Structure 1
């Protein structure tokens, strides 16, 4: 009696699910990509109301203490600044001196901080580091010095270990009324805080000289604040710029025992920072307006509690109209309005079925939320700070810019005192809340998107859209690899019928390693992406090169570098195997390309999630749809021609230059677009060390090039 064969062990359920998904990868891809786009469009509906997580903040718990006396002193301070700006020819020296003397009269510590302008030049070795570390260059003259004025109030109830920073940028060579009023608001607060007894954190007022840019002056001071040095700042500047030092001679006030000096003064660790900016407005509105800017480099955001405190005090305490940036063109978009009407109707149906279901919002709220969400997503993806507050996030300090606009013109003298008092009391309330903290901001969110000043989408919600978009990539890559192996195995089996087993065995062994050539192809193209990333460094060395000329040189040198890689490392678009036109060749190449895209997008999501989200919207459909055009032409069916047309459209929109033109033209009009604008945009990315620049050159562009190769593959 023959022995019965042992029963085969069934694979685990998770393995069977994975095999099922691979075998139905086309259907899974369509469902996931559609769901990912739908989840992105649903984000304004799923947004939550903001709330203050840290109970110690208790905003508005105390009545404002800023009095009319403080406002009157600030008004006199503003008038003298404006007067000195018109009377003195050397306002770049006189205004910092005037600010220092006013601070000194309040009994606070005062010091000057001198700095040189930073060179915003692309340097590949300094990409992830700070620009110039404050070293004075030989070709800089002392007339180019920027001068920050720093005042410090030592907290009567503090131990000097923590501090709150107020920043007021102004152009010392030509100050305008808005900048003078921002200095006046800070002075009124400083005047109040020198007298209070509840202060537990030191207060630093940085009057930042923004003649070379707001970010430059703040970043230079922060770099020196966090960099230990020996010998004193005054000695260094005095030896290097003797004529400048004589302009800032220390003036001792015998009655107070304090002096103005160049010695760098420090306070405690920064708990938070507020940048105060007063802007005039062209149109009149019903309320004074507060605009909040929070985005820092590479999509970093301050803790949401800081924005919540400012929004609560501005709305409920001072009656201000709070705004955040929007994509204004979306407010009049018909398709956004149609989506809003659809979601509003779905919300009504959901509430009719169950009143507890809180789904759906009004059309106006959806349009407003979509425009704000698009702006928040764009500025985070851009990776460029939206104000000088971005310099603080590089040191893990929560900071935002408060841009206050009066409802009438700034020249209205009657309204100036009321405006100064309202702005001062807002800043006072924020300082009181931060002063209550026993630790740094940590309770609320650091990863979020805003849909309005009082609504947000947390990372746990908006990551779903990205996860759905990239989920098909590993499944399709595995499916393509499986199809290539099955096709190759069929060919080898046909060959086996006419050959002996000894001849067939090496072929089977070689087949299992055939994917290495596709991996080599993808690797060479990504190495080419590294070369493309470094080319602007050499183009910047060419004198008097216009942006249009620079972009054409970049394209030509990129093509030339690809040809060099072709001749030195072997053509990345050739097949080692004898059969160059077999179907499994492009299947394996597409499989490896999709795997590389998946890895690149996941890595980018760790650095800047917004960049990865927008990149997935462009790359994923392009990679999944890529098919040789020769196959579509041979099929001669409506479905094949439709797929070929979709491939061409996706390929055009996926090219970085074309995508830039389309997006800018859609939001701002095509009449004012030039090719040089793309160079200026990319130049701003590398000047601010934005990781989006690396993503475009080292992930997006190589994937686009590989998709072009697959479309032109000769099957």
Structure 2
């Protein structure tokens, strides 16, 4: 009886999560199809799901006080503009007279003034620059006989502050090519700076940086910030004199008071920064303001800063606020069709229930999608869209404001009105930031813009990414299970009759059977990491053209892969040397999917936009990969369709081909060559973009493994 009782004892129940996993594995094709379609639809719906911006921090109180900027301040600004534009071209290009004039005007206001001298930074590929910024030793090592750039700094000490916080106002100008727009930006900043020297409500120090952008806007601001936060005790004049003694005469001129050894002056911790630029050529019916916010590796300022600028520009100054958009998508017929469908669904939803607010007009949807695509691409590229990116590297919220008047800048009658209107905008933003008792933290740091007053938060746009990558672990587990079952069948083991046989431990493939696939994936990743370093050596070749550099890179990559196979063995050698295994390619695909899934997840932490775009290319490569011989043998319409998709993905997945397709779609295919791809990649490594690492540590290995699976000999 005891034996009978033991035999009748119920089996342990399988946990619900395990059953769900088994169900998804057994229906992986349907699950993968649904998730990919849902992920693509979620991306298309992001402009519809965008929210209107709102100010989260109540202390900002934009527009709560009347502007104090007067016509007298504007008159003083116009005098500064006249003094700068009155210089002859040779004197202006020397880079000495403009800092001298700025220093005189700042000193008259009673503010502190100093100068910052810097040399141009080398824009060459260096592997270690991905992990650390160039230090002082690198700067001194690369000093040259070029005359240094000179930026002028004015500081107002806040009467109600303790000197621990500051607000920065930046106006870049190019002394070698000074135009009326740069002169007006200096005049506008001076009018606001002049006002702030007299107000009593100022609680944060004000720093005005007139950045000499002769060697680049970003470099001038970045070198000043590096000196601000990491002071160097070596004399730039001494270092420059040792390398090029002729430059010593620069400091012996009559302007020694300006370029003498004045101390680098500092204020408190920076709460926010505004980069002001004036541009000509606005074709709109109103004065326009364009906001640039993207910084390195997809970093964005706190959304409250953009909201304050947008609110004051629209509701106080009547400016037309714009953000960048992909104009090539404005005329897209596909987006118009999608917009019409969404608009129709919105009307149907409101007919069923007036409280259901779904859908937007077609024109608004297309424009929102073009803006979203521009925001997504700019963040994924990882390159700052202005000198505000230098501040974001120090976790300082900053934006670049480009103001374009509706009339020509040479119209003297309208200059005063333009300076007054723009200056009041800057004054209002500074006054709002001055009200803060702490750093920006209330609003979002992770978001995409679909318009100047609309955004998509991280909680919404991460849904599309999650749907796209959700099939990867399911398919990898399914391939592992099938290969394990096939291996057990080959060895003559009796299959389990349990309904959960897919997860039966007796049927799991022994770990050493997967070492070959793991070795292949490891070899490809090591090779790809080495390929990412080849440009460092190619760039050392003198007088080499971008096209020759690209071709050399490709040939060197192919040769190195062949050499690596010769030393460590080809991934196809397993089929010929050991017993045949029809599911061998499945093990390699499972390892490839696992590596791609881990890479995409890690990249989403560094730069979500890069991971989002990367998933659109990598996920189809992972899911649809299958040996071409299987499709050729099947000779069915389904097999032919899958083979065509694999070949198309193999072409599109090649990084240069993907670049040419994207650039040709947005800008046209005329003039495209391999040199353009080299310049694009060169731009990535010069700016230390994490996208460069993603391409060669995630995308390229996945594409090469995809080709291995397609060409598998079975």
The TM-score with structure 2 as length reference comes to 0.95
CA–CA separation in structure 2 for the residues paired with 1:549 and 1:87: 39
Of 52, 60, 83 in structure 2, the residue corresponding to residue 49 of structure 1 is 52
Q: How does 1:340-379 map to 2 (within 5 A)?
A: 340-379=339-378
When structure 1 is superposed on structure 2, of 49-58 and 484-493 the one drifting more is: 484-493
What is the correspondence of 1:650-661 to structure 2 with a 5 Å cutoff?
Answer: 650-661=649-660
Alignment of 1:510-521 (within 5 A): 511-521=510-520
SS of residue in 2 equivalent to 1:449:
strand
Alignment of 1:481-496 (within 5 A): 481-493=480-492
Equivalent position to 2:206, from 203, 207, 216: 203
Q: Contact between 1:233 and 1:262, CA under 8 Å: does it hold in 2?
A: no
Deviation per CA, 1:33-85: give whole Å up to 9, x if none: 00000000000000000000000000000001000000000011001101114
Shift of 1:651: 1.3
Which whole-Å deviations, capped at 9, do the CAs of 1:336-359 have from their partners, x for residues lacking one?
000000000101111111111111
| 1:270 alignment partner in structure 2 | 270
Match of 1:700 in 2: 699
Q: In structure 1, what is the equivalent of residue 134 of structure 2?
A: 131
SS at match of 2:395: coil
What is the deviation of 1:134?
Answer: 6.6
Greater shift after overlay, 138-147 or 610-619?
138-147
Equivalence map 1:174-213=2 (5 Å): 174-213=177-216
CA distance in 2, matches of 1:27, 1:443: 42
Does residue 63 of structure 1 match 2:69? no
Find the residue that maps to 2:472 and give its secondary structure. helix
User: Is the contact made by 1:238 and 1:245 (CA closer than 8 Å) also made in structure 2?
Assistant: no
CA gap of 1:107–1:386, structure 2 versus 1, over 3 A, is same
Instruction: Find the residue that maps to 1:10 and give its secondary structure.
Output: coil
2:251 to 240, 245, 251: 245
Q: CA deviation at 1:327?
A: 0.3
Counterpart-to-counterpart distance in 1, 2:121 and 2:151: 15
Cα distance in structure 2, aligned partners of 1:138 and 1:638: 64
2:171 to 168, 172, 179: 168
Preserved CA contact (<8 Å) 2:312 2:429: yes
Q: Secondary structure at the match of 1:3?
A: helix
Q: Secondary structure at the match of 1:92?
A: coil
Instruction: Describe the shift of the 1:369–1:338 C-alpha distance in structure 2 as closer, same or farther (beyond 3 A).
Output: same
2:227 counterpart residue number: 224
Distance 1:138 1:360, change over 3 A: closer
Checking the alignment, whether the CA contact within 8 Å between 2:145 and 2:240 is kept in structure 1 is no
Which residue is equivalent to 1:15? 18
- 1:555-604 CA distances to partner (integer Å, 9 max, x unpaired)? 01111111121122222343178446522110000001000000000000
Trace 1:22-421 onto structure 2 (pairs within 5 A). 22-86=25-89, 88=91, 90-133=93-136, 137=140, 140-141=143-144, 143-230=146-233, 242-247=248-253, 249=255, 251=257, 262-281=262-281, 284-421=283-420
Point out where structure 1 has 5 or more consecutive residues left out of the alignment. Answer: 253-258, 497-506
How many Å separate the matches in 2 of 1:574 and 1:445? 52
The SS at the match of 2:492 is: helix
Query: Relative to structure 1, is the Cα distance of residues 90 and 176 closer, same or farther in structure 2, using a 3 angstrom cutoff?
Result: closer
For 1:433 and 1:402, locate their aligned partners in 2 and report how far apart those are by CA, in whole Å: 16
> Is the CA contact 1:85–1:175 (under 8 Å) kept in the aligned structure 2?
no
Alpha carbons of structure 1 residues 239 and 519: separation in structure 2 relative to 1, 3 Å: closer
Q: Deviations over 1:439-466 (max 9, x none)?
A: 0000000000000000000000000000
After superposing the two structures, state which structure 1 stretch, 169-178 or 423-432, moved more: 169-178
CA distance 1:235–1:672, shift in 2 (3 Å): closer
User: Any stretches of 5+ residues in structure 2 without a counterpart?
Assistant: 496-505
Query: Measured at CA, do residues 341 and 85 of structure 1 come closer, stay the same or move farther in structure 2, by a change above 3 Å?
Result: farther
Query: 1:144 offset after TM fit, Å?
Result: 2.2
Is the Cα–Cα contact under 8 Å of residues 294 and 301 in structure 1 kept in the other structure?
yes
Report the CA distance between 1:638 and its aligned residue: 0.6
How far does residue 89 in structure 1 lie from its aligned partner after superposition?
6.0
Q: What is the deviation of 1:661? A: 0.6
Q: 1:142 to 1:117 in 2, by over 3 A?
A: same
Q: 1:206 to 1:17 in 2, by over 3 A?
A: same
**1:423 Cα deviation after fit:** 0.8
Larger deviation, residues 427-436 vs 124-133: 124-133
C-alpha RMSD of matched pairs (Å)? 2.1
8 A Cα contact 2:170 2:276, kept in partner: yes
Q: CA deviation at 1:87?
A: 6.3
Secondary structure at the residue paired with 1:147?
A: strand
SS in 2 for 1:481: helix
Change (3 A) 1:587 1:239: closer
Aligned length: 698
CA distance in 2, matches of 1:345, 1:24: 33
Evaluate the alpha carbon distance shift between residue 667 and residue 706 of structure 1 in structure 2; reply closer, same or farther with a 3 A threshold: same
Decide whether aligned partners of structure 1 residues 641 and 616 sit closer, same or farther in structure 2, where only a CA change above 3 A counts. same
Q: Flag the 1:340–1:64 CA change in 2: closer, same or farther, 3 A.
A: same
- Separation of aligned partners in 2, 1:120 and 1:695: 21
Kindly indicate whether the alpha-carbon contact (under 8 Å) linking 2:115 and 2:151 is maintained by their aligned counterparts in 1: yes
Q: Which residue of 1 aligns with 2:503?
A: none
C-alpha contact (below 8 Å) 2:122/2:142 kept by paired residues: no
Separation in structure 1 between the aligned mates of residue 99 and residue 139 of structure 2, nearest angstrom: 21
Instruction: Provide the rounded CA distance (Å) in 2 between the counterparts of 1:158 and 1:89.
Output: 37
The whole-number CA distance in structure 2 between the counterparts of 1:122 and 1:349 is 56
Write the distance in 1 (CA, Å) between the matches of 2:103 and 2:145: 20
The answer as to whether partners of 2:317 and 2:425 remain within 8 angstroms in 1 is yes
Tell me how far apart the structure 1 counterparts of residues 313 and 140 of structure 2 sit (CA, whole Å): 44
> How far off its partner does 1:375 sit?
0.1
Cα 1:100–1:352 shift into 2, 3 Å: same
Residues of 1 paired with 2:77 and 2:377: CA distance? 38
Does the Cα contact within 8 Å between 1:96 and 1:172 map onto a contact in 2? Answer: no
CA contact (8 A) 1:524 1:572 kept: no
- Helix, strand or coil: the match of 1:659? helix
* Equivalent residues of 1:219, 1:391 under 8 A apart: yes
Offset at residue 697 of structure 1 (A): 1.1
1:111/1:260 contact within 8 Å kept: no
Report how far residue 517 of structure 1 moved: 1.3
Distance 1:511 1:136 in 2: 55
SS in 1 for 2:525: helix
Q: Retained in 2: the 8 A contact 1:113–1:262?
A: no
Look up the match of 2:499. Answer: none
